[in-house]
Amino acid sequence: MNQSLDSALSIILNPERTMEIVLEAIEELVDYELAVVLSYDDDKNLKVRRARGPLVSNRLKDFVLSLDKHTNIKEILSKGQVYLFDDDPEDGDVHIDTYDEIIDMPAGHSCLVAPLKIEDTTLGMLTLDHRECDMFTPQIVKTTATLSRLISLALAQSLAADSLRVEKEALLLERNNLLSEMPNELKNMIGSSKSWLRALEKIKLAAPSDITVMINGETGTGKEKAARAIHSLSHRSNRPFVALNCTTLTASLAESELFGHEKGAFTGAVSQRKGRFEIANTGTLFLDEIGDMPLEVQPKLLRALQEGTFERVGGEKQIQADVRIVCATNKDLEKAVKDGEFREDLYYRLNVFPVVLPPLRERENDVLLLADFFLGEIARKRGLDKFKITSEAAAYLRENPWKGNVRELQNTLERATVLSGNSYIELVHLLPPERKNSSKKSGIANHTETLDETIANHIKKVLEVTDGKIYGEDGAAKLLGLKPTTLQSKMKKLGIK
């Protein structure tokens, strides 16, 4: 699917627009003056979701229909079948006009009600009205029953989107309440789940002192952001924050990076260079992925931590540094100690105050809050209106395991905003490229019908809708845009009886 088509679908195929399209399609088949889609507001009332036709009034927008007053409609909904009102009922039961409170309809007007269901669950109803009598034939009743299934699907999507929006607003309210009680340094550490709030509390507890902090968490959980928050909340906040990633460091490079080197200390050392300890003096030194620190350098690091002094590589002078240590790892350091890959004494020297950052999959609904935050930031940087997420896309965000955690989520949303080309983020924009390609390939592999079989099946479905009728305004030929003789010729060729 190309990007322009993606953009068009994103705009058109939201639930409300889908309902509008189906109502337009019904209008081509049924001459109505008022079509209204209603959904349950509660057990006793229905509210208007969508209305179309020349009789549409502004008063319909907030109209609520009482099922206690319209008991006949309540009974129709319970039976789940399309119903055409008889204007001269034999049993003397008088039909109260569906919209008698806001629209003045003449006596004997045409009125049809179609319950909107998904499987065995009734979501609401579709009503069709015309001021003239006998406008809706039995064939129209059958056609409406078929098309109402599409309305039901769109209504279900719309209700799901509403539910998601209410839940999201509740989460945002909860988050805002929490933010009002939170230091500014933590306000960009988005989340309201219990596990995340516990981690933030530990950060606040550790920050004011000079205690050594060990941050544990999977890749992408925000370990460096947590380290910066600890620094920002400490009395060293106006002093340097220096980070060193220990991954890929060789023993000689790690020693030089930590403690610096003198001129001529080794080949290529053309000048004196300060190490991270010196640069971070009076501030905070963040050792990221400390579990990857080469074993040979660990004793020297331990000595520097215990005594607060060190020598540059190739030097003899003792250098002092007042440094607060914060480190992070995604490894099980206790296991590394048992396996002889990490010094036990260094482990206990670093693991004074552990802070565990939970993976995103264990943070309940935080993914929606984070998505809202990231999309807002992306829109702000690009000078765009805030992006919106469809209900299907939001469901994917919540159900995806996010093995790369917050970093993977952020990168996925960045890509999705580029692919969408507009303000709507659809499910297809969130899927990884390999998922899209594999789904396309599997779809082609599983679709084994020939072109003739596809055409034949389509004609059969239309014939079912028209109850086998070919000629006339409500015949299959008209619906397919063919001459009746042409359709009969195709049916004979394709073996359709």
DSSP 196-238: HHHHHHHHHHHTTS---EEEE--TTS-HHHHHHHHHHTSTTTT
**pLDDT tens, residue by residue, 346-387:** 999 999 999 999 999 999 889 988 998 999 898 888 888 888
* Whole-angstrom distance, CA of residue 418 vs CA of residue 485: 49
**pLDDT tens, residue by residue, 103-133:** 888 888 889 999 999 888 889 999 999 988 8
**pLDDT tens, residue by residue, 180-212:** 455 667 778 888 888 999 999 899 999 988 999
* Whole-angstrom distance, CA of residue 371 vs CA of residue 171: 12
Residuewise pLDDT in 10s, the chain (497 residues): 444 444 444 444 566 777 788 888 888 888 899 999 999 888 889 999 888 899 888 888 778 888 888 888 899 999 889 998 875 555 445 567 888 888 888 888 889 999 999 888 889 999 999 988 888 888 888 888 888 888 888 888 878 777 766 666 556 555 555 544 556 677 788 888 889 999 998 999 999 889 999 999 999 999 999 999 999 999 999 999 999 999 888 988 899 999 988 887 777 777 888 999 999 999 999 999 999 999 999 999 999 999 989 998 888 889 999 999 999 999 999 999 999 999 999 999 999 999 999 999 999 889 988 998 999 898 888 888 888 888 888 889 988 999 999 999 999 999 998 888 777 888 888 988 765 555 444 444 444 456 677 778 778 877 877 788 888 877 787 777 777 777 887 888 888 87
Residue 223 φ then ψ, to 5°: -65, -45
Q: Is 225 within 8 Å of 324 (Cβ atoms)?
A: no
Task: Work out whether the CA dihedral 62, 24, 139, 468 comes out positive or negative.
Answer: negative
For residue 294, the Cα-to-chain-centroid distance in whole angstroms is 41
Is 398 exposed, middle or buried, given 0-12, 13-18 or 19+ CB atoms closer than 10 A? middle
Is 454 exposed, middle or buried, given 0-12, 13-18 or 19+ CB atoms closer than 10 A? exposed
What percentage of the chain exceeds 90 in pLDDT? 33
Closest CA to 247 of 302, 289, 286: 289
**Structure tokens, 283:** 């501030």
Give pTM, 2 decimals.
Answer: 0.56
